[in-house]
Each structure stands twice: as C-alpha cells, then as structure tokens.
Chain A
C-alpha cells in the first residue's frame, strides 16, 4: 500500500523528487570530481596578476618543450594502445574460444590485476626483469641475444612502451571479451550454411560487428596510455618527458606563480585531449549497441 502511494506522489511531482536519492552521489562527485576540474580550468586562464589571460597556453601551442611533451604523450598513447589492443584482442579471442570454466575465471581475475597494475610496483618489476642486469635480460643474453647491444634501455621511451603493454593488453582483454563473447556461433554457422566463405562472413558480418567495440576499447587504452603517470615516473625518473611528468616537475620543484598557472594549463590541455578521446569512445559505444537485442 505504502509503495503504491509513494509512486503516485512521486509521479505527480515529476523530475524534482525523483532526483532526491541521487543527491548524495551528485554532491560527492560534484565537489570532488567536477569542482577540481572547473577550478583547474579557471586557474589556467588566470595570469600572475589574477587577470584573465591566455598566456598560460602560449608555451603549449607555440612549440617548444611543452608542446613537444604533448607530442610525446600522444605518441606513447597511440603506440601502446595499438600494440595493446592488437595483442589483447588476440588473447581475448583465444580465451573466449578455447578456455572454459574455472580456469577462465582465474584468467579473468589475473587480467583484472594486470590491467590495474601499473604504477610503481610495475616499474620496479620491469627494472628487475629487463634492466641492464635484469634476470630476463641475462636469460636472453644467455640465449645469445643482447637486447642492450643497440640503443635499447628500459629507462627510455621504448622501455616505457614495453612496460605499458603489460597493463594495456590485459585491459584490452577485459574490455573486448564481451564483444567477442557476443558473437553468436549461429551467425558463423548460418553464413556457412547459406554458402558463404569465411572471408565473406568476416567481411560482411564479423568485422562490422566487432569494429565499433574494438575502436571503443582502443580509445580506452589510449586514454590510459595518455594519462598514466606513476609508471613512467618510477621507471625513468623523469627523463621521458610526457605531459604528466612535466606537470609533476613543475609541482615538485621551486615553483613561481607563473609556473603553477602553467601547470594548470598543461593539466587542462590533458583534459582537452582526454575529452576528445571520450567523445570518440561514446560514439563507438553507441555504434556497438546499435544492433543489440535484449
């Protein structure tokens, strides 16, 4: 009885009352998520004298080290997302097709751990494994190949790419698996039954269906590769100049007021890039859901 009365009351007041139970959530995220974003955006437009200005964005746009850091960041994100998505998609396919039961559960959990790893422990682990005296390095050297013979070092851009793949690929596995699971075997069988070859199936049905989720996942990986800070920081002690590290340097060092504003503008720059990716991701999600039947 009470439930029916409550429903009637709520319906007559429309949107207003319905939103009430969500207020705690909205206040929390508003204050701790949205407000900081707004604050840093406002700060980036303020000069030393607290006047509105675009000065802070000048170093970023006009070339030079700050502009360059964005290029490096984007390059890193692009490369690791590409490698991660391809490897991850392959693994996701193998897992969905060939692994069953509890072992699959275990693999999923491990993927979850790997995907969320990153940060400091990961960097150190890779130093231990692939550093100049790392065990894996020694092992491979024992097999005859010295990875340090050329220009490679774990403490470089390439090293960072290697380490990032460690969490990018598992993230791809996690995110892309549902898309692969959603491929009904009946589709492939019906296609065969109707006389089509495997190529035709993938061209007309398989790839069109898998492409949007793949692109969406790619964007997700890109976002992760772009925003990561801790791993690169611990690994390279700041020598690879991606934007987060530049920001970190500005914040850690002896900052003058102008530099804190610069930090803000860099941060906002990152948000802009991230938002663009986000739009891509949402678009891809919409396309993925287009033909979904419940």
Chain B
C-alpha cells in the first residue's frame, strides 16, 4: 500500500539493526575472539592451528566426511526415484510419505537415539556405519521438501511422456531427462544432508561414536578457544559458501516470481 518512503526506511532500518545485533554480532564477535591470544595479548592464528595438532582431529574429521558422503549418496539414491514416482503415478501416497518425512522433525532425535540403542541389531550397533542411516533419516524432511519443490517446478509428466514416447526406457528417462531438470534440487538435498551429517551431535554422542562434533566437544574441554575457532570457521564457511551459491543462482528467484 501507499506507505511513505520514510516509514519504509524506518522499518527496514530497524529490521537491519535488530538482525545485525541478533545474528551478525555474535558471528563477528566470536570470529574476532577466535583470533585472540588468551589474556588479551593480541591476535593470532594459534587457536586454529592448535586444533589441527590435536590427536583425533584428522581421524574424526575423516570419519565425519566419510559418513556424510555415504549419507548423501544413500539419501539421493533412495529419495530421487521415490519422489519421482510419487509425483508421477504415486500421487495418492503423497500425504503418507509427507507425513513420514515430517516425523524426524517431530520425533525428538534423542528419542530416536535411545530407540536405536534398543532396536538396532548388534552387527549394526557395533559399526559406526549405523550412523549413516540415521543421518539420512534426519535429513528426510529437508530432502523431501527440496526434491518435491524441484519436481513440482518442472512439468514432470510432460517430460516423462515426451521421453517415453521417443522410445527411452525408465532408467534412461530418469538419468538423462529428470535428474538434469531437477539438478538444483538434488544439489540442495545433497548439500543439506551432507551439512547435517557433518554437524550431527545428538545421535552420535548418545550412541557413543566419535565423529568430528563429538571429538570437538571433548577436545574443547582442554582448550575452549580452539573449539570456538573451529565453530566459527565452520559456521562462517557455511554462510560464505551458501551466499556465493545464492548470489550466482538466479533460477530460484525467477521461478518463484514466475509462479506468482
């Protein structure tokens, strides 16, 4: 409506100030902090390098990466065909699957962890790879949404019919036609699952496995600065990465505008 320019700038200004204090300030403050020499003696990279020297940094990092990659792969392999089917011929199952995929958001991860302790067969419980499956489960809500949005944005039915009418098999259609069309969604889902897996703490610690996050908490008890340095690094890194991706992706905005 006809809101005056002055009012507009006032609101935006206030929002920016609030946003800054609440969100940016902690990030900046902790970033600066992480470079500080204990006792206010100046600035240093020591906190960052200290962490690298610790036992277990690389092994736990390696474990986390390994598990995260596996989780991403399994997630996509399971969900892409499922979502494609759901949007094509399986429409009637959509609300059921939607419901199942919302469950990990609702069921406390803590409860899931305890349940895992009681439910998983011992061959799984003795392997850190059991975490992979739970990482996938935790990522389901986001994966579902992301893939669903992508699939709905393309005219899936038309693409499939065109491909099939030209003689392509189902597998070929999925790989050559659908996957490229929802590239954005798949990348998003992969990235999210990966990020979730790398940062997952709850299940990992309750099931007594050592991954990067759990190792960090233990290590931090010796040197809080190091832990802080790491947290800052991962956080700022993630923001920077996503912002860059976002800056270069025009598709999301155009699609959203078009849908209006």
- On A, residues with C-beta under 8 Å from B are 2-3, 10, 18-19, 21-22, 24-25, 28-29, 32-33, 35-40, 42-43, 87, 90-91, 94, 98, 101-102, 104-106, 108-110, 112-114, 116-117, 119-130, 134-136, 139, 165-166, 169-170, 181, 185, 188-189, 192, 198, 220, 223-224, 226-227, 229-230, 233-234, 243-244, 247-248, 251, 263-264, 267-268, 270-271, 274-275, 277-278, 281
Name the A residues within 8 Å of B213 (CB-CB): 119-120, 230
Q: Which of A24, A40, A43, A234 contacts B82 (CB 8 A)?
A: A24
| Chain A CB within 8 A of B27 CB | yes
Name the B residues within 8 Å of A220 (CB-CB): 105
Q: Is the CB of B105 within 8 A of A94?
A: no
Q: Which of A33, A124, A244 contacts B100 (CB 8 A)?
A: A33
Q: Interface code B96-117, partner A: CB below 8 Å = 1, 0 otherwise?
A: 0100101111111111101111
Residue of B nearest to A20 (CB): B85
CA distance A35 to B8 in the complex (A): 53
Task: Tell me the chain B residues, 119-147 only, with Cβ under 8 Å from chain A.
Answer: 119-120, 133-134, 136-137, 140
Most chain A beta-carbon contacts within 10 A, residue among B15, B140, B231: B231
CA distance A220 to B165 in the complex (A): 44
Q: Is the CB of B199 within 8 A of A120?
A: yes
Q: Interface code B27-65, partner A: CB below 8 Å = 1, 0 otherwise?
A: 101101110000000000000000000000000000000
CA distance A284 to B200 in the complex (A): 29
Name the A residues within 8 Å of B150 (CB-CB): none
Name the B residues within 8 Å of A101 (CB-CB): 253
Nearest CB on A from B125, distance (A): 12
Residue of A nearest to B101 (CB): A29
Q: Is the CB of B15 within 8 A of A267?
A: no
8 new A-B contacts at CB < 8 Å, known A32-B136, A129-B33: A33-B137, A36-B115, A40-B119, A90-B15, A124-B30, A125-B231, A230-B202, A248-B205
Q: Interface code B186-204, partner A: CB below 8 Å = 1, 0 otherwise?
A: 0000001001100111100
Q: Is the CB of A247 within 8 A of B114?
A: yes
Q: Is the CB of B140 within 8 A of A29?
A: yes
CA distance A277 to B228 in the complex (A): 34
CA distance A39 to B112 in the complex (A): 10
Q: Is the CB of A105 within 8 A of B137?
A: no
| Chain A CB within 8 A of B227 CB | yes
Q: Is the CB of B11 within 8 A of A223?
A: no
Q: Is the CB of A121 within 8 A of B234?
A: yes
